[in-house]
Amino acid sequence: MASITIRQLDEDLKRRLRLRAARNGRSMEDEARTILRMASADELAEQSRANKAVPGVAPIPQPAAPLLARSIARQARVLLIVGGGIAAYKSLELIRRLKERGVVVRCILTRAAMEFITVLSASALSGERVFVNLFDPTTEHDIGHIRLAREAELVVVAPATADLMAKMAAGTADDLASAVLLASDATVLVAPAMNPHMWAHPATRRNLASLERDGVLVVGPKVGEMAEEGEAGIGRMAEPLEIVSAALPFLHSAHAPQTLKGRRVIVTSGPTHEPIDPVRYIANRSSGKQGHAIAGAAAALGAEVLLVTGPVTLPDPVGLKTVKVETAQEMLAEINRGLPAEVAIFAAAVADWRVEEPNANKIKKQPGSSPTLTLIENPDILATIGHRDKDRPRLVIGFAAETEQVIEHAKAKLARKGCDWIVANDVSPGSGVMGGDCNAVHLVTAEGIESWPPQSKEAVARALVARVADALTGAQP
Ligand SMILES: Cc1cc2nc3c(=O)[nH]c(=O)nc-3n(C[C@H](O)[C@H](O)[C@H](O)COP(=O)(O)O)c2cc1C
């Protein structure tokens, strides 16, 4: 069917389709299919926007758009540059993880990378042509390396070898990877991977500092065992899913204007730990996934973000400042230190109570008797900031985790805490929200209630920060 359609196209359209197909390394039929898929995904996204709830009116529940359709709606494009390190095998997994999320991945392998993985495996997994050579007569007839540099929304360097980082910092352009990095104006995310001594070397320290000054985002490296026997320390590449988490906010924002540029946003995330004694504490099941996603999404729209997080196992989001705390009191102190800010989004699950007098030493087990813990109230962070006279953020947003009467409790909380919006979610045991990847929230404002369909925590985060940007510019709600 596609070939009949193509034959019937007028000459100019056919020529443009041929050029586009060649540029993307696809047949004309495949290119036509890709265009149709993108158009249908855009239509789905448009429908879901049109179905947005009317404030104050309960919306008709909408089935979530199929994951693939939603994720390819904007056909995000990553250029993955694979450096010559042992961790190159993980970049194959990274290609798969990005593709699963509907991202188009093109790869450049350095000469050294080809010692570790093959062009064939990278092209089979990406479904795209893999580029290795700066002086390639088949791609350079129209200066293909500049095209590669321009077409990506995000350039990911994984693994970023010590050598690649040095080249980037120095602005060298003597092979395809470094020439493309120098020619690209896209956001660059590097995932360093190297021996701990290479990582600790003053030259690498200097190069890293230069790259950070140039606005390059960095994910990892982590502490762990090295491929070299007996070597351990900092230098392991971040795991593919961690790199994906760091990359996604920047991909989704690639087409979006930097609507929060210059705005200071404070986000809290995770649980708090309230000590009982030096080894025991009171905690809750919050994973921090929602708060971290919000911080990342705000940074991706250009905001200057301070993330104050309780103890979580998540990596720090890239492109923002993360401050780690344990207790509610510490969290409030860091927020106060971080003010003034235009927006404060309190997604952390802060413990309502703490032990009045934590034991200085570990409480010993006494046969037949249990200790009694006296609890006292923790500071109410949302109410404290919501009712501030001086330096109150323009927009104070709280989260309400409820297990019953979610909306009623959220409405009451909005009034009581002096905040502007409440994002309410049902965290009852069957909901899978606490610790899970999805969330179904109700946005409660003075104007009414919107019930958003179940979606990933990243999607909730993007939708929320988009609403924040609208509100700051006076668009809504
Ligand atoms: C077995 C082996 C493993 C290597 N692993 C790493 C590594 O993990 N990180 C790194 O920075 N360099 C590593 N190197 C050194 C790089 O391959 C070398 O610096 C190379 O020039 C990097 O080229 P590229 O940056 O163009 O990819 C390794 C070399 C060998 C032989």
Q: What is the CATH number of the domain that holds 280?
A: 3.40.50.10300
Residue 146, domain member (yes or no): yes
Contact 414, 387 (CB under 8 A): no
Q: Are residues 244 and 296 in the same domain?
A: no
Amino acid at 439: N
Q: Are residues 330 and 425 in the same domain?
A: yes
* CA 88 / ligand 1 centre spacing (Å): 10
Residue 1, domain member (yes or no): no
Domain of 144 in residue numbering reads as 70-249
How much is the mean pLDDT over the chain? 84
195 is catalytic: no
**DSSP string covering 22-87:** HHHT--HHHHHHHHHHHHHHHHHHHHHHHTPPPTTSPPPP-PPPPHHHHHTTT--EEEEEEPSSTT
Q: Are residues 235 and 134 in the same domain?
A: yes
* CA 89 / ligand 1 centre spacing (Å): 13
Query: Percentage of residues in the chain with pLDDT exceeding 90?
Result: 55
162 lines ligand 1 (CB under 6 A): yes
Nearest CA to ligand 1 atom 31: 85
The more confidently predicted of residues 113 and 135 is: 113
Nearest CA to ligand 1 atom 6: 85
Q: Are residues 100 and 193 in the same domain?
A: yes
List 24, 133, 195, 284, catalytic entry: 284
Q: Are residues 400 and 286 in the same domain?
A: yes
Of the pLDDT bands very low, low, confident and very high (cuts 50, 70, 90), residue 26 is low
186-193: average pLDDT = 94
Among 189, 221, 249, identify where a domain stops: 249
Specify the range with the lowest mean pLDDT, choosing from 128-132, 136-140, 175-179, 465-469: 136-140
Q: Are residues 132 and 217 in the same domain?
A: yes
Residue 307, C-beta contacts closer than 8 angstroms, at least 6 positions apart: 267, 268, 269, 291, 292, 295, 316, 317, 320, 321, 322, 323
Residue 130, domain member (yes or no): yes
Q: Are residues 292 and 192 in the same domain?
A: no
- What are the tens digits of pLDDT across the range 223-235? 887 777 777 789 9
Q: Please tell me the total count of domains within the chain.
A: 2
Of the pLDDT bands very low, low, confident and very high (cuts 50, 70, 90), residue 1 is very low
Query: Percentage of residues in the chain with pLDDT exceeding 70?
Result: 83
Residue 435, domain member (yes or no): yes
Residue 199, domain member (yes or no): yes
What pLDDT was estimated at residue 209?
A: 95
The residues that bridge with 232 in the sheet, in sequence order, are 225
Among 202, 219, 249, identify where a domain stops: 249
Specify the range with the lowest mean pLDDT, choosing from 95-99, 134-138, 291-295, 385-389: 134-138
Among 196, 229, 249, identify where a domain stops: 249
Residue 474, pLDDT > 70, answer: yes
Of the pLDDT bands very low, low, confident and very high (cuts 50, 70, 90), residue 338 is very high
245 lines ligand 1 (CB under 6 A): no
What pLDDT was estimated at residue 477?
A: 46
- What are the tens digits of pLDDT across the range 42-84? 454 444 444 444 344 333 333 333 333 333 345 789 999 999 9
Residue 167, pLDDT > 60, answer: yes
The more confidently predicted of residues 10 and 449 is: 449
Q: Are residues 239 and 315 in the same domain?
A: no
Which of 80, 81, 86 for mutating ligand 1's site (highest number of atoms within 8 Å of CB)? 86
134-138: average pLDDT = 76
Nearest CA to ligand 1 atom 26: 110
The gap from C-alpha 369 to its chain's centroid, in whole angstroms, comes to 48
Q: Are residues 213 and 305 in the same domain?
A: no
Residue 18, domain member (yes or no): no
Q: What is the CATH number of the domain that holds 83?
A: 3.40.50.1950
- What are the tens digits of pLDDT across the range 419-442? 999 999 877 766 666 667 788 888
* CA 119 / ligand 1 centre spacing (Å): 17
Residue 57, domain member (yes or no): no
Q: Are residues 294 and 403 in the same domain?
A: yes
Residue 13, domain member (yes or no): no
* CA 83 / ligand 1 centre spacing (Å): 7
193 lines ligand 1 (CB under 6 A): yes
Which of 91, 163, 195 for mutating ligand 1's site (highest number of atoms within 8 Å of CB)? 163
Of the pLDDT bands very low, low, confident and very high (cuts 50, 70, 90), residue 13 is confident
Nearest CA to ligand 1 atom 13: 85
Q: Are residues 395 and 266 in the same domain?
A: yes
243 lines ligand 1 (CB under 6 A): no
Q: Are residues 232 and 272 in the same domain?
A: no
